[in-house]
Amino acid sequence: MLVGRLLISYYLQRFRNLLCSCLFALSCVCFLMLSSCVVVHQIDRDKLAKRYMEFDPDPKLSSFKHEVRYIREGAAGGAGQSAGGGCGCN
């Protein structure tokens, strides 16, 4: 009987530890998600709209590089380009 009680108390303690760990991890994730939401003031929005903040600061140059790469590689299509041969006659 004593062994059964010891086993039950052991598994209850492990369950409590697991539950506490999961709750702690969940609270950390929630805290990180909520702390990443930021209100950008009107006066600071001009800094975020600068050209160097864009994902692709020069889309014309990127388009040209993609075209040259596809012509050189002989690849067809892929990134919104028309399918063409490797001869450069797109």
Residues 6+ apart with CB under 8 A from 57: 51
pLDDT at 14 over 70: yes
| Residue pLDDT, tens place only, 31-46 | 888 876 778 888 888 8
Could you tell me which residue, 85 or 16, shows the higher pLDDT?
A: 16
Give the number of other Cβ atoms within 10 Å of residue 67's Cβ: 15
Percent of the chain with pLDDT strictly greater than 70: 76
pLDDT value for 79? 56
3-class secondary structure, 19: helix
In terms of average pLDDT, the best of 25-29, 35-39, 54-58, 79-83 is 25-29
Distance from C-alpha of 63 to C-alpha of 90, rounded to nearest angstrom: 14
Provide the pLDDT confidence category of residue 82 given band limits of 50, 70 and 90.
low
